[in-house]
A and B are shown apart, each in its own frame.
With several copies, the nearest count.
Chain A
Amino acid sequence: MTDTAELAHTIEALLFLSTDPLSPRELGDATEAGEEEVAAALAQLAEEYAPGRRGLRLRELAGGYTFATDPASEDAARRLFSRPRAFTLTPAQAETLAIVAYLQPISRPEITRIRGVSADSAATTLLERGLIEESGRSQFGAVLYRTGTLFLKLFGLRSLDDLPDVAQWDPTPEEQAELRDRLLRAGEARAGGGPGGVEG
């Protein structure tokens, strides 16, 4: 393999990884190659990625080079990325969302106490997706969360009153204590188990 071919491979990998166009100078610094060598390698790549030869094209943009997809693939790309995303809640997200739905408004520390493990990443994802939203602050200054309109739409609920009655999933329905109290007690019992305790 010639040096130019080898350099072209490396530049190909760099252009593939980079989100932004890369200038010949940046490519030279990264590959420790001279200006002319880089130019030769880019010329080779330009030929290999000439329109119609591959699914990608080498484009010169904003003083640098970047790969872009061939417009011929756009329909397929649209079909792939516009399919309703397989929107599945992870177990952690389902639990966090359920806690917010039934106990809103509720703070993150309380969600964590009920789950027995941190709910931070799940709560962040739910926030980003617009399933839950901020709703003021608790008396201790913690941000409170509630569900929003999108939540009702996605779950096909007219209002929060339509949330399923917990009774059918409730292991000990005879207990009269409030849902929140019971969830907190169960969460603390789980968290208090410690390594080897509960499971051991």
Chain B
Amino acid sequence: MSIASLDLDLDVFTGPFDLLLTLVLREEIDLFELQLADVVLAYLDHLESSGQLDLESATEFIVLIAALLELKSRLLLSGEDEELLDIEPDEAAEELLARMLDARRYRAAATHLRELFDAEDGVRFRSAPLPAHLRRTTAEPTDGSQDPAVLGESIGRLLHMPPAISLRHILVPRVSVAERLTHLRGLLHRGGFTFDEAVTGADRMTVAVTVFALLELYRRGEARWDQAENFGDISVHAISEPLRIAG
């Protein structure tokens, strides 16, 4: 089966995968609203029900979903930290395109190699030691035939420090989960709160860390939340008296 016809039944979209891609690229569906994890889950469901893994379409799917993830993550990062996005959109698209073409090119080349390999099926080569009377005469390499400079060069290459990896594209966390836990516990202590209240005026990174903190509270059984509708307010309530542990 081609990935294009994978049927999806998502919150914001119902239909085949290729239509979804088209709608996303035409901006008729907001990538923000699209839960990519659900697309992956739908694909996994499809794999499970079909009972077989078609590597061709699996690769296609991974490349496409990776492209969507990349677009989405760039969307999420855009805005206030302009200097982080030193790649122009068309550059990014070209890079993405080049990568998709490369992957496709070498997948096809791999198919060709497998055909060559299969065509040689049943061809065997002889591999036997030389008969004893011929083996005796095998000459040792001559003295002084090797250049010691080869050794010095090898060591010199190994002394070479690789360039430091640039971490410029990774945000330096300015907030910690522990900090946000303390903050949320403070709000819980005063009764319930909505998620928007918890992150009023916060930057994107703080919002993200606050989500983690909230998940941590849930995991520890300190809080639960409700959301009446998609993108509506998320209201958070204490399950029991919050534990007073400094994060």
Chain A residues within CB distance 8 Å of chain B: 13, 16-17, 19, 59, 66-69, 71-74, 77-78, 81-85, 87, 89, 91, 94-95, 97-99, 101-102, 113-117, 137, 140-142, 153-157, 162-172, 176, 179-180, 182-191, 193-200
Taking a contact as CB atoms closer than 8 A, the residue among B31, B147, B159, B208 that contacts A166 in the complex is: B159
* Interface membership of chain B positions 118-145, coded 1 if the CB is closer than 8 angstroms to chain A and 0 otherwise: 0111111111111100110111111111
B124: which A residues are within 8 A, CB to CB? 13, 17, 68-69, 74, 77, 85
A19 to B113, CA, bound (A): 23
Residue B27 is within 8 A (CB to CB) of chain A in the complex: yes
Q: Is the CB of B97 within 8 A of A85?
A: no
B102: which A residues are within 8 A, CB to CB? 114
Taking a contact as CB atoms closer than 8 A, the residue among B66, B149, B154, B159 that contacts A186 in the complex is: B159
Q: Is the CB of B142 within 8 A of A186?
A: no
The number of A-B residue pairs with CB atoms under 8 Å apart is 299
A82 to B208, CA, bound (A): 60
Residue B62 is within 8 A (CB to CB) of chain A in the complex: yes
* Interface membership of chain B positions 23-36, coded 1 if the CB is closer than 8 angstroms to chain A and 0 otherwise: 01111001111110
Q: How many residues of B contact A (CB 8 A)?
A: 98
A183: which B residues are within 8 A, CB to CB? 25, 67, 93-94, 96-97, 155, 158-159
Q: Is the CB of A172 within 8 A of B161?
A: yes
Within the complex, the shortest CB–CB distance from B237 to chain A, in Å, comes to 20
Residue B48 is within 8 A (CB to CB) of chain A in the complex: no
A170 to B30, CA, bound (A): 31
A116 to B141, CA, bound (A): 30
Q: Is the CB of B93 within 8 A of A187?
A: yes
Interface residues of chain B: helix, strand, loop or mixed (majority):
helix
A101 to B154, CA, bound (A): 11
In B155-207, the 8 Å CB interface with A consists of 155-163, 165, 204, 207
Q: Is the CB of A172 within 8 A of B144?
A: no
A83 to B142, CA, bound (A): 11
Stretch at the interface among B39-47, B68-76, B215-223, B239-247: B68-76
Q: Is the CB of B97 within 8 A of A198?
A: no
Q: Is the CB of B101 within 8 A of A82?
A: no
Q: Is the CB of A78 within 8 A of B211?
A: no
**Given known A81-B137, A186-B71, A198-B162, contact A164–B101 (CB-CB < 8 A):** no
**Given known A99-B106, A171-B159, A189-B27, contact A81–B32 (CB-CB < 8 A):** no
A142 to B157, CA, bound (A): 11
Residue B15 is within 8 A (CB to CB) of chain A in the complex: no
A141 to B208, CA, bound (A): 37
Sort A-B residue pairs by CB-CB distance and give the 9 closest, nearest first: A169-B156, A71-B122, A187-B89, A156-B144, A74-B122, A169-B108, A183-B93, A98-B154, A164-B152
A59 to B123, CA, bound (A): 11
**Given known A81-B134, A200-B33, contact A69–B122 (CB-CB < 8 A):** yes
Taking a contact as CB atoms closer than 8 A, the residue among A72, A84, A169, A184 that contacts B152 in the complex is: A169
Within the complex, the shortest CB–CB distance from B5 to chain A, in Å, comes to 18
Q: Is the CB of B165 within 8 A of A197?
A: yes
Given A164-B152, A180-B97, 13 other A-B residues pairs in contact with their CB atoms under 8 A: A68-B125, A69-B123, A78-B134, A95-B158, A98-B110, A141-B161, A154-B145, A166-B152, A169-B105, A169-B155, A185-B25, A197-B165, A200-B72
Q: Is the CB of A116 within 8 A of B101?
A: no
A26 to B89, CA, bound (A): 57
A51 to B167, CA, bound (A): 60
